[in-house]
Structure 1
Amino acid sequence: MDAQVLPHRQRFSVDNNATGWAELVERLHALPIAAVGIEPSGGYERGIIRILLAAGLSVRRINPSKLRQFARARGILAKNDRLDAQLIAEYVSIMPTRVVQRVATAERLAEVVTMRRQLCDEHVTIENQAAHVEDAILRRLNKRRLARLKADIHLLDKRLAEIVAADVILAQRYELLTSMRGVGPTLAFTLIALLPELGQMSRKQIAALVGLAPYDFDSGKLKGHRCIYGGRMPVRNILYMAALSAARYNPALKVFHNRLAAINKKPKVIIVAVMRKMITTLNAMVRDNAAWQPRAA
């Protein structure tokens, strides 16, 4: 694991294991460190982040996509570990970043939510394949696989409920979120695990973080279509499914949906607007610690 310390551009490497992490903490404590930047690597970064936070260091998790954009803006096209360490250090020193807040229970919840999403994706893939399978043995095999995946997903749903019920703060957050009609267990668990910033940001910021902010596409006299872009796709995907239900069964959101339909907005534009309304309302509910009120939509 490569590290670079600014402004003196000190470089060193440590092993990416417990021994190396301890060495890293020791070396960082000997320096005037304001913040430590970490690039996510599919969950492999969790161990070092826990160690750094336990050592009292301020940690910033850097979005890999933004880091690459930062590199290109600097005219840097090459990519290697030493160069990444330099870019991360420069990014943290220049760009605004959020401090990582570790909540052990939320970390466990995020791990289970991620596994559940992977199993659901696998279930959809096999289900789609099964529709075109003709061989009898393959059909039986796919049927068993689908049954196993369904059972595993149900098991993880129970595990998610257990984790939340065992933590008073998370249980209160869960009850608050599910007070909105249309927010079921899956969306509530996902928001708690993958959107810890909920309630701490403005409505525009939380919409952008989920990828529901309409961005301009204009140039001169050209007025392009507003498009959403980026954000946390796992959260947005679950929110999309919840919005489809809420637009039909949540009275306030149904009125909102129908009002947009009456002025001939496109169906996908309408559902994205419902998603944005849901997440900004949930953000306000968490911020104010107030349960759902129909007039809020």
Structure 2
Amino acid sequence: MAQIVPTVGIDVSKDRLDVAVHPVDERFSVSNDEAGWRALVRRLKPLGARAIGLEASGGYERGAIIALFKAGLPVRSVNAWKLRQFAKAAGLLAKNDRLDARAIAWFVATLPSREIRHDPAVEHLAELVRTRRQLVDALQQIGNQSEHLRDAGLHRLQVRRLRQLERDLAELDRRIAQAIAASPALSARQELLCSMPGVGPVLAATLIALLPELGTLGNRQAGALVGVVPYDFDSGRMKGLRCIFGGRAAIRRVLFMAAQAAAMWNPILKTFKQRLRAAGKKPKVAIVAVMRKLIVTLNAMVRENAPWRLTTA
């Protein structure tokens, strides 16, 4: 009789980690702190689990992930939306921390999930990049609000906030550049990415931090992870409108702006977009296609460790 290799699901909250082991239905909880992480490793290491799944939980999962990774355990990242759809399909309609842990364990036992890579330099860069995005969002929000203020005192207050945010953004850009320069591997990756016209330091840093898999993926995988692959919506004779779905929105937002610039200054992508528009494609469809071609080209450049050339794309 074949030996059953278990899988583990961990539901993360601020103060607690709820753990479920599949298929033996073992459950336990530990505190989400250093003592709890040590207890978690002690409980899980003897199991020989082939996968330990967690979903992102606003950063509360990081300590547990690092502890599991240092112990040499196979940590997997679980997409929250896919997990919920899986749970519904499996009949797990109720939702609480213990049931979520059970669903995660079942999910990683049934479906492929992404292996988490632990690189302190990349994790630090990711923290800086995410904070930069929050600052950019705040700048945009306050800028939009200040345009409609009639109270002069409130307007001055918002202007001061804008100026401070702009200084903070400049400081973050400096720290992001320092973080990349401090790592020869990250610095080389940035230089490679920025060799392509239309790719600047913001997109390069975003891809390095939030898409570390770049260069190890197939073309469709790369597009799907960013969320720029159109999916069919057909049934019988009905031919539905293709649309993009899912992916990492934080990357897609930056990629959209980069694609706009690349479609003007990159000779291959400029011709590509013009050809699509001449064929009757709508502007948004054309720019999404440029985004997809851009990320696929960068993926190939990183995979081959080859800078951009006019014949690359």
TM-score by length of 2: 0.94
Please report how far the alpha carbon of residue 47 of structure 1 lies from its aligned counterpart in structure 2 after TM superposition: 0.8
Q: 1:267 aligns with which of 283, 299, 305?
A: 283
Q: What per-residue deviation string (whole Å, max 9, x for no partner) do you get for residues 34-81 of structure 1?
A: 221112101111111000000010100111111101111112221101
Which residue type is aligned with residue 83 of structure 2? Answer: L
Matches of 1:76 and 1:187, distance apart in 2 = 40
Aligned to 1:71: 87
Q: Which residue of 2 aligns with 1:293?
A: 309
SS of 1:33's equivalent in the other structure is coil
Q: How does 1:92-241 map to 2 (within 5 A)?
A: 92-241=108-257
Question: What letter corresponds to residue 238 of structure 1 in structure 2?
Answer: V
> Paired residues, what number?
297
Q: For 2:291 and 2:178, how far apart are their aligned partners in 1? A: 28
Kindly provide the amino acid, as one letter, of the partner of residue 119 in structure 1: L
How far 1:30 sits from its partner (Å)?
2.4
Q: Distance in 2 between matches of 1:244 and 1:99?
A: 32
Distance 1:3 1:275 in 2: 39
State the secondary structure of the residue aligned to 1:5.
Answer: strand
Task: Report 1:242-261 matches (<5 A).
Answer: 242-261=258-277
Residue of 38, 41, 45 corresponding to 2:54: 38
The one-letter code of the counterpart of 2:59 is: G
Letter of the 1:96 counterpart: P
Q: CA RMSD in A?
A: 0.8
Unpaired segments ≥5 residues, structure 2: 1-16
Separation in structure 2 between the aligned mates of residue 9 and residue 239 of structure 1, nearest angstrom: 43
Q: CA–CA distance in 1 between the matches of 2:107 and 2:253?
A: 29
CA distance in 2, matches of 1:103, 1:286: 18
CA–CA distance in structure 2, aligned partners of residues 30 and 16 of structure 1 = 20
What per-residue deviation string (whole Å, max 9, x for no partner) do you get for residues 110-161 of structure 1?
0000000001001000000011001110110010011111111110000000
Instruction: Give me the whole-angstrom Cα distance separating, in 2, the residues matched to 1:78 and 1:154.
Output: 46
Distance 1:61 1:263 in 2: 40
Provide the C-alpha distance between the structure 2 equivalents of 1:130 and 1:209, rounded to a whole number of angstroms: 36
Amino acid paired to 1:222: M
Match of 1:279 in 2: 295
DSSP-derived class of the 1:234 partner: helix
Q: Which secondary structure state, in structure 1, belongs to the residue aligned with residue 231 of structure 2? A: coil
Where structure 1 has 5 or more consecutive residues not aligned to the other structure, the ranges are none
- CA deviation digits over 1:81-119, x for unaligned, max 9? 100110011011111112111110000000000000001
Q: Are positions 1:49 and 2:73 aligned together?
A: no
14, 26, 34: which one pairs with 2:30? 14
The separation in 1 between residues aligned to 2:249 and 2:310, in whole angstroms, is 27
Residue of 99, 113, 121 corresponding to 1:83: 99
Q: CA deviation at 1:32?
A: 2.5
SS at match of 1:294: coil
Distance 1:272 1:15 in 2: 44
Distance across 2 between alignment mates of 1:153 and 1:100: 29
Tell me how far 1:275 sits from its aligned partner.
0.4
Q: Quick one: distance in 1 between partners of 2:213 and 2:48?
A: 28
Greater strand fraction, Structure 1 or Structure 2: 2
Q: TM-score, normalised by structure 1?
A: 0.99
**Structure 1 residue 6 displacement after superposition:** 2.1
Give the ranges of 4+ consecutive aligned residues of structure 1 lying more than 6 Å apart after TM superposition: none
The sequence identity of aligned pairs, in percent, is 56
Distance 1:295 1:204 in 2: 20
**Whole-Å separation in 2 of the counterparts to 1:265 and 1:164:** 38
AA paired with 2:254? Answer: I
Q: Distance in 2 between matches of 1:194 and 1:70?
A: 25
Amino acid at match of 1:76: L
The structural deviation recorded for 1:296 is 1.9
